[in-house]
Amino acid sequence: METELKELKTVKRPEMIKAIAHARSLGDLSENAEYHAAKEAQVHLERRISDLEFQLVRARIIDEGALPKGEARLLSKVRLLDLKSNQEEEYTLVALEEADFDACKLSVKSPVGTALLGKKEGDIVEVKVPAGVLRYKVVSISR
Protein backbone atom coordinates (compact mmCIF):
# COMPACT_ATOMS: atom_id res chain seq x y z
CA MET A 1 0.00 0.00 0.00
CA GLU A 2 2.89 2.34 0.75
CA THR A 3 4.33 1.71 -2.72
CA GLU A 4 1.00 2.42 -4.39
CA LEU A 5 0.52 5.60 -2.34
CA LYS A 6 3.99 6.86 -3.27
CA GLU A 7 3.28 6.14 -6.96
CA LEU A 8 -0.04 7.97 -6.85
CA LYS A 9 1.42 11.02 -5.11
CA THR A 10 4.70 11.35 -7.01
CA VAL A 11 3.75 10.15 -10.50
CA LYS A 12 -0.02 10.02 -11.05
CA ARG A 13 -0.91 13.27 -9.27
CA PRO A 14 1.56 15.38 -11.31
CA GLU A 15 0.37 13.66 -14.51
CA MET A 16 -3.21 14.51 -13.56
CA ILE A 17 -2.31 18.17 -12.96
CA LYS A 18 -0.73 18.35 -16.44
CA ALA A 19 -3.77 16.68 -18.02
CA ILE A 20 -6.12 19.19 -16.37
CA ALA A 21 -3.92 22.11 -17.42
CA HIS A 22 -3.85 20.84 -21.00
CA ALA A 23 -7.63 20.37 -21.08
CA ARG A 24 -8.13 23.84 -19.58
CA SER A 25 -6.02 25.32 -22.38
CA LEU A 26 -8.43 23.93 -24.98
CA GLY A 27 -10.98 26.64 -24.37
CA ASP A 28 -14.50 27.01 -22.98
CA LEU A 29 -14.66 24.85 -19.85
CA SER A 30 -18.44 24.54 -19.86
CA GLU A 31 -18.36 22.49 -23.08
CA ASN A 32 -14.93 20.92 -22.65
CA ALA A 33 -15.47 17.16 -22.25
CA GLU A 34 -11.74 16.49 -21.87
CA TYR A 35 -11.57 18.92 -18.94
CA HIS A 36 -14.58 17.36 -17.20
CA ALA A 37 -13.16 13.85 -17.71
CA ALA A 38 -9.80 14.93 -16.27
CA LYS A 39 -11.48 16.53 -13.25
CA GLU A 40 -13.52 13.34 -12.67
CA ALA A 41 -10.34 11.25 -12.86
CA GLN A 42 -8.73 13.62 -10.37
CA VAL A 43 -11.57 13.02 -7.91
CA HIS A 44 -11.04 9.25 -8.17
CA LEU A 45 -7.28 9.64 -7.76
CA GLU A 46 -7.60 11.83 -4.68
CA ARG A 47 -10.17 9.46 -3.19
CA ARG A 48 -7.78 6.51 -3.64
CA ILE A 49 -4.93 8.50 -2.06
CA SER A 50 -7.17 9.38 0.88
CA ASP A 51 -8.28 5.74 1.30
CA LEU A 52 -4.70 4.48 1.30
CA GLU A 53 -3.58 7.12 3.80
CA PHE A 54 -6.48 6.19 6.09
CA GLN A 55 -5.66 2.47 5.89
CA LEU A 56 -1.96 3.05 6.55
CA VAL A 57 -2.67 5.20 9.60
CA ARG A 58 -4.79 2.37 11.04
CA ALA A 59 -2.47 -0.47 9.98
CA ARG A 60 -0.45 -2.36 12.53
CA ILE A 61 2.10 -5.12 12.28
CA ILE A 62 0.94 -8.40 13.77
CA ASP A 63 3.41 -10.51 15.72
CA GLU A 64 2.69 -14.01 14.44
CA GLY A 65 4.29 -15.51 17.53
CA ALA A 66 1.60 -13.96 19.71
CA LEU A 67 -1.24 -15.55 17.75
CA PRO A 68 -2.76 -18.82 19.01
CA LYS A 69 -1.46 -21.91 17.23
CA GLY A 70 -3.71 -24.60 15.78
CA GLU A 71 -6.59 -22.19 15.31
CA ALA A 72 -7.59 -20.40 12.11
CA ARG A 73 -6.79 -16.71 12.49
CA LEU A 74 -5.57 -13.84 10.37
CA LEU A 75 -2.47 -14.96 8.40
CA SER A 76 -3.22 -18.67 8.90
CA LYS A 77 -2.79 -21.07 5.98
CA VAL A 78 -5.81 -23.34 6.11
CA ARG A 79 -6.00 -26.57 4.10
CA LEU A 80 -9.59 -27.64 3.53
CA LEU A 81 -11.22 -30.76 2.17
CA ASP A 82 -14.32 -29.94 0.12
CA LEU A 83 -16.75 -32.60 1.32
CA LYS A 84 -18.77 -32.44 -1.90
CA SER A 85 -15.96 -32.76 -4.46
CA ASN A 86 -13.48 -34.51 -2.14
CA GLN A 87 -10.74 -32.12 -3.32
CA GLU A 88 -8.34 -30.21 -1.08
CA GLU A 89 -7.91 -26.44 -1.23
CA GLU A 90 -5.53 -24.18 0.67
CA TYR A 91 -6.13 -20.54 1.54
CA THR A 92 -4.30 -17.89 3.51
CA LEU A 93 -6.63 -15.79 5.64
CA VAL A 94 -5.87 -12.10 5.12
CA ALA A 95 -7.34 -8.64 5.70
CA LEU A 96 -9.95 -7.39 3.26
CA GLU A 97 -7.45 -5.11 1.48
CA GLU A 98 -5.05 -7.99 0.80
CA ALA A 99 -7.61 -10.47 -0.54
CA ASP A 100 -6.73 -12.05 -3.89
CA PHE A 101 -8.66 -15.18 -4.79
CA ASP A 102 -6.31 -16.02 -7.67
CA ALA A 103 -3.41 -16.08 -5.18
CA CYS A 104 -5.51 -18.12 -2.69
CA LYS A 105 -5.64 -15.19 -0.25
CA LEU A 106 -9.08 -15.19 1.33
CA SER A 107 -10.46 -12.22 3.24
CA VAL A 108 -11.53 -12.86 6.83
CA LYS A 109 -14.57 -10.73 5.91
CA SER A 110 -15.68 -13.14 3.17
CA PRO A 111 -18.31 -15.79 4.02
CA VAL A 112 -15.77 -18.63 3.94
CA GLY A 113 -13.08 -16.61 5.75
CA THR A 114 -15.50 -15.59 8.49
CA ALA A 115 -16.69 -19.19 8.93
CA LEU A 116 -13.09 -20.42 9.26
CA LEU A 117 -12.07 -18.02 12.02
CA GLY A 118 -11.49 -19.87 15.28
CA LYS A 119 -11.81 -23.32 13.71
CA LYS A 120 -9.33 -26.11 14.50
CA GLU A 121 -8.00 -29.10 12.60
CA GLY A 122 -10.71 -31.72 12.13
CA ASP A 123 -13.60 -29.21 12.44
CA ILE A 124 -16.40 -29.30 9.87
CA VAL A 125 -17.32 -25.90 8.45
CA GLU A 126 -20.60 -25.11 6.72
CA VAL A 127 -20.85 -21.86 4.80
CA LYS A 128 -24.02 -20.44 3.29
CA VAL A 129 -23.28 -18.80 -0.05
CA PRO A 130 -25.60 -17.65 -2.85
CA ALA A 131 -25.02 -20.96 -4.66
CA GLY A 132 -26.05 -23.01 -1.61
CA VAL A 133 -24.11 -24.47 1.31
CA LEU A 134 -20.40 -25.30 1.14
CA ARG A 135 -19.10 -27.98 3.49
CA TYR A 136 -15.43 -28.30 4.36
CA LYS A 137 -13.32 -30.27 6.77
CA VAL A 138 -10.31 -28.40 8.17
CA VAL A 139 -7.35 -30.64 7.31
CA SER A 140 -4.51 -28.49 8.64
CA ILE A 141 -3.68 -25.02 9.91
CA SER A 142 -0.22 -23.47 9.69
CA ARG A 143 1.47 -20.08 9.67
Q: How confident is the model at residue 75 (pLDDT cuts 50, 70, 90)?
A: confident
The pTM (predicted TM-score) of the whole model is: 0.60
**Which of 26-30, 60-64, 90-94: highest mean pLDDT?**
90-94
Residue 1: the pLDDT is 86
Domain check: are 129 and 78 in the same one? yes
Q: What pLDDT was estimated at residue 90?
A: 95
Mean pLDDT, residues 52-72: 79
Cα distance between residue 4 and residue 111, in whole Å: 28
- Tell me, yes or no, whether 117 and 99 share the same domain: yes
CATH code at position 122: 3.10.50.30
- Domain that includes residue 49, residue range: 2-58
Lowest mean pLDDT among 9-13, 61-65, 77-81, 87-91: 61-65
Report the CATH number that the domain containing residue 47 is assigned in CATH: 1.10.287.180
In the prediction, which pLDDT does 27 show? 79
Total domains present in the chain:
2
